[in-house]
């Protein structure tokens, strides 16, 4: 596993991170790892979220899609 060094972090930000970590029962390092993982999910995690949301989208009748296509074509003329 890699190590990451961040220099010149303002003291007030470090204190906020420490407080957040304490509130969540983590070390500051663990809190930062979780924050980074949440902010930058893996490709597989993103695809899983897309699949979950896709299943909740109601189906659209073919007639409505055809109407959208016709409307788009009419606008481009």
Say what the pLDDT of residue 26 is: 94
Give me the residue spans of the domains in the chain.
11-75
pLDDT > 80? residue 76? no
Report residue 64's pLDDT band, with 50, 70 and 90 as the boundaries: very high
pLDDT of 19-57, one tens digit each? 999 999 999 999 999 999 999 999 999 999 999 999 899
* Cα angle 68-74-77, degrees, rounded to a multiple of 5: 145
């Amino acid at each position: 596993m890699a190590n990451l060094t961040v220099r010149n972090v303002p003291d007030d930000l470090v204190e906020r991170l420490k407080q957040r970590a304490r509130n969540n029962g983590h070390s500051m390092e663990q809190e930062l790892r979780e924050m980074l993982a949440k902010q930058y999910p893996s490709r597989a995690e993103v695809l899983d979220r897309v699949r979950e949301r896709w299943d909740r989208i109601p189906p659209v009748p073919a007639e409505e899609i055809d109407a959208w296509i016709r409307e788009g074509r009419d606008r481009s003329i």
